[in-house]
Every structure is written in C-alpha cells, then in structure tokens.
Amino acid sequence: MSSVLRNKALQHLARRDHARGELRQKLLPFSEDPSEVDAVLDDFVERGWLSDTRFAEQWVFYRSARYGPQRLRAELQQKGVASDIISAVMEEHGDDELAQARALWRKKFDSPPQDIKEKNKQLRFLISRGFSVSVIYKVVGGAEDDDF
C-alpha cells in the first residue's frame, strides 16, 4: 500500500467526510494502478475511517435546510453513493418536504407573487433547490391562502 496514497486520503478525510467514489476519483491521479487506490480505500473502510452511510447522513443533515430531496439525491448519486444507501438515509431523514419548501420560500420572499413574472421567479427558485413540482405549486400557489 502506497504511503503517498494513504497520506493523500487522510488529508482529504481530515477536512471532511467523503464518499468512497468521490475519494477514489481524487486519489486516482496519484497512482498508476487503480487497484492500489482500491486497496487503500478498502483498508479505510475496514478501520471505519471511510463510510458512505456516514457521509450521506452528514450530507443530508447539513444541506437539507437549503435544498430539497430531489437535489440531495442527485448530489449523493453524483458523489458515488449507492442508491440503497441514499434511499435509507433519505427515508431516515424523513423531513416534511412541504414544510421545508415553505420555510425556504418564506425566508427568500416576503410576500406572495403579485403577477405571473414574480410567480415564475418564485417557482424557478424552488425548482433550483430540488423540490418536487407538486410541492412547489402548493407553496407558491397556496401562498395567498394560508401564509399571509
């Protein structure tokens, strides 16, 4: 096992938790043999220093205040976390998407949309944050009814 790879991996993990796939991508440029990278990562998993589940839990916990479940799922997939881990973590997190979207919408906008241009702006904002379309329409469309 290469000490250079091991040290690089430890440097990355000292900053923050990483998903195995993400850390693998960061280490590959430092090795000519991908199996050597996999050996380092296997050792780290055995020692408990690297865990996709722990990474996903932290990722969802810290980013769920700003982003919806669809975006969080996409980000975790992009980082190489297995879909069964993503599903388990998202189910465990289980926050109410509607309440989360409404809280974020209230923080950003101080009043319901007055015209179609403003409504579209609010819809685009929530879409970019990864909320489902049905929830977005409930938040923006229902804003006039129960929020103000």
The CA R_g of the chain, rounded to the nearest whole Å, is 20
CA distance 29 to 82: 23
Tokens of 130: 């990864």
- Cα dihedral 18/23/26/32 (nearest 10): 170
The beta strand positions in the chain, using DSSP E, are none
Q: Which residue has the higher pLDDT, 9 or 145?
A: 9
CA distance 148 to 142: 10
- Cα dihedral 134/135/137/138 (nearest 10): 120
Mean local confidence (pLDDT), 81-109:
87
Residue 1, pLDDT score? 55
**C-alpha dihedral sign at 28, 30, 33, 36:** negative
Query: In which band, very low, low, confident or very high, does the pLDDT at 145 lie, cut at 50, 70 and 90?
Result: very low
Query: In which band, very low, low, confident or very high, does the pLDDT at 23 lie, cut at 50, 70 and 90?
Result: very high
CA proximity to 17, closest of 9, 28, 5: 9
Residue 98, pLDDT score? 86
